[in-house]
Amino acid sequence: MSQNPDIDGIFTINDFVALDIMEVLSSIVQEDLYDYQLIGFDGIKMSIERKYLVSTIVQPVEDIANKSFELLIKQIEDPTYHEQIILPVQFVDGGTTKE
């Protein structure tokens, strides 16, 4: 952060990495920790031993599993079958982002 002081937001590969970054930021920044926007990805339920909740992008995991199974069956029945499926994601505010 000292090498790139203009950074005010971080998007991480998953929620646990976001929580780890929160801990690192709290130990190295002199400013208010909440001056930074932090978004995780996965929408996993936070474990009780973590201090923070994190804003996150939630995937429709059950829909992904169901659609994947349906697509697999269709492709087994017809190896030339192709379909692109786009499922919506949802932003959930965990307190690490501002409006």
- The average pLDDT across 5-22 equals 88
Q: What is the DSSP letter of 4?
A: -
Reading the block at residue 96, the tokens are 């690490």
| Cα within 13 Å of Cα(88), Cβ side | 2
| 16-74 tens-digit pLDDT | 898 888 888 888 765 666 678 899 998 776 555 666 678 889 889 899 999 999 999 99
pTM of the model: 0.72
Cα gap 23→14, rounded to integer Å: 15
Q: 95 or 11, which is more confident?
A: 11
- The average pLDDT across 68-89 equals 96
Number of C-beta neighbours around residue 81 at 10 A: 11
Report pLDDT for 78.
97
DSSP helix/strand/coil, 62: helix
Cα gap 2→28, rounded to integer Å: 9
Evaluate whether 19 touches 48 at the Cβ level (below 8 Å).
no
